[in-house]
């Protein structure tokens, strides 16, 4: 039994990406509209060793888009963050990486996995899975432009007929990437069906840089399974963390001790929601903060008795006081 626990403990370990050493190998995936500053802060406190920022357009930085500044905000109390850029022009992506390098992010990530039609239509995100040569040029130019480690997020492939994650990972490594994160679905799948962990194992066999597995990790057991089955170096958690920052602490406890922590109590949920809401107001002001809190509240309360009614009320809320009142009534 003791040997088994020791083996389990080994699954939760520090992860070195370039010159950055992370406390453990649990990573919050970058998610547009989700992983803003308040949410990252909560996940870092709960044990995420690296938090992915919402993706930022390299062109938006170039043209001084006013909304971009908010996306680039980093809190001094956050743990290490990874700033994710997307774009399809090696010159623009690398020059914008250089322009923002003095900001306090630890790692620069290049998005080659986003499946959203608008992004793909512009030849960005997962469209680059169809352009391996261009992808390599973007990575190489960015690695050359900045001192900080550059990582890449890719998918299994563009569609079932074009599964090329192994080729893309090799290109990334050859171009100087410090790590690669692989989502085990194609662009065509978006987030449907099951993630193919076999492709993550194949990427791990093919490259010597750290490989971060992503897709369908929802608890300690699935995190353990992904690490054991694929041999990957780290676990990236995305949708399962929405409304559930505690997930990182739960996975860490399971990997370290084989121990399943109890779910948060209703009181802990209330406290977390109100803290999240207060951070939103502090950083974004009441008007924007309240509106952005609506989706988070629907994730926090999913599955609770009366959650549909609560969501309806939350969507009408206009102030922090109203949110507070609704949360206290949960």
Of 144, 139, 145, 135, the closest CA to residue 99 belongs to 145
Dump the DSSP string for 24-84. SSEEEPP-TTT--HHHHHHHHHTT-SEEEPPPEEHHHHHTT-TTHHHHT---TTS--EEEE
DSSP H helices, 186-306, are 197-206, 220-230, 247-257, 266-301
Residue with tokens 């001192």: 147
**d(C-alpha 176, C-alpha 151), whole Å:** 9
The CB density around residue 6, as the number of other CB atoms within 10 Å, is 9
Gap between the Cα atoms of 300 and 306, Å rounded: 13
**Coil, helix or strand at residue 195:** coil
Measured between alpha carbons, how far is 287 from 269 in angstroms, rounded to an integer?
23
Q: Cα(112)–Cα(114) distance, rounded to whole angstroms? A: 6
HSE-CB for 63 with a 13 A CA cutoff: 7
Q: How far apart are the first and last CA of the chain?
A: 42
Q: Please pick, among 55, 58, 93, 114, the residue that the annotation labels catalytic.
A: 114
Q: Residue 58's closest CA among 26, 99, 17, 21? A: 99
Specify whether 114 is catalytic: yes
Nearest by Cα to 37 from 53, 26, 50: 53
How many CA atoms are closer than 13 Å to the CA of 232, on its beta-carbon side?
31
Distance, CA of 245 to CA of 257 (rounded, Å): 20
Q: Which residues are catalytic?
A: 114
């Amino acid at each position: 039994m003791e040997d088994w626990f020791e083996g389990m403990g080994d699954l939760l370990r520090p992860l070195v990406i370039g010159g950055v050493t992370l406390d453990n190998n649990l990573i919050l995936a970058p998610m547009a509209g989700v992983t803003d500053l308040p949410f990252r802060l909560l996940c870092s406190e709960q044990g995420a060793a690296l938090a992915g920022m919402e993706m930022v357009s390299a062109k938006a930085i170039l043209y001084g888009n006013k909304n971009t500044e908010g996306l680039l905000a980093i809190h001094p109390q956050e743990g290490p963050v990874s700033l994710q850029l997307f774009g399809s022009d090696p010159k623009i992506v690398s020059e914008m990486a250089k322009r923002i390098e003095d900001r306090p992010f630890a790692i620069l990530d290049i998005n080659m996995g986003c499946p959203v039609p608008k992004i793909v239509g512009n030849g960005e995100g997962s469209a680059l899975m169809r352009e391996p040569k261009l992808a390599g040029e973007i990575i190489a130019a960015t690695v050359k432009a900045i001192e900080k480690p550059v990582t890449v997020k890719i998918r299994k492939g563009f569609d079932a007929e074009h599964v090329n994650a192994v080729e893309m990972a090799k290109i990334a490594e050859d171009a100087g990437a410090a790590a690669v994160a692989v989502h085990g679905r194609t662009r065509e799948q978006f987030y449907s069906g099951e993630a193919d962990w076999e492709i993550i194992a194949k990427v791990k066999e093919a490259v010597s840089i750290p490989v971060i597995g992503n897709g369908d990790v929802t608890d300690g057991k699935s995190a353990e399974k992904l690490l054991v089955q694929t041999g990957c170096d780290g676990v990236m958690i995305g949708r399962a963390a929405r409304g559930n920052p505690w997930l990182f602490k739960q996975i860490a406890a399971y990997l370290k001790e084989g121990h399943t922590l109890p779910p948060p109590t209703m009181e802990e949920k209330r406290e977390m929601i109100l803290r999240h809401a207060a951070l939103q107001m502090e950083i974004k002001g009441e008007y924007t903060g309240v509106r952005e809190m609506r989706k988070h509240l629907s994730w926090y309360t999913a599955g609770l008795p009366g959650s549909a009614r609560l969501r309806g009320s939350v969507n009408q809320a206009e102030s922090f006081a109203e949110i507070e009142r609704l949360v206290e009534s949960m």
